[in-house]
Amino acid sequence: MREILGRRRVTRWARRSAALTCATQWQWPVLPGAALRESKRQSKRMCACPHPDCVVPGAHPFDPGLLAATTDARMVRWWWTNRPTAPIILATGGQAPCALSLPAIAGARALRELDRRGVRTGPVVATLSRFSLLVAPYDLAELGELLYAQDWVPSSLRFHGEGGYVPLPPSTTGGGRVRWERPPTVGRGRASAGQPYLPRMDALLDVLVQASATAPDGGSQLAY
Specify if 175 maps to a domain: yes
Does the residue 6 lie in any domain?
no
Angle between helices 205-212 and 104-117 (to 10 degrees): 140
Q: How far apart are CA 36 and CA 58, in angstroms?
A: 5
**Statement: the pTM of the whole predicted model exceeds 0.85:** yes
Residue ranges for the chain with pLDDT beneath 70: 1-10, 39-43, 187-193, 216-224
Helix (H, G, I), strand (E, B) or coil at 136: coil
The C-alpha atoms of residue 160 and residue 98 are separated, in whole angstroms, by 6
Q: What are 173-202's pLDDT values in tens digits?
A: 988 899 999 999 986 555 556 889 999 999
What range does the domain containing 202 cover?
Answer: 14-212
Share of the chain residues as helix, strand and coil, in percent rounded to the nearest 5: 25, 20, 50
pLDDT one-digit tens code per residue, 37-61: 876 665 577 898 988 888 888 899 9
For residue 139, tell me if it sits in a domain.
Answer: yes
Q: How many domains does the chain have?
A: 1
The answer to whether residue 224 sits within a structural domain is no
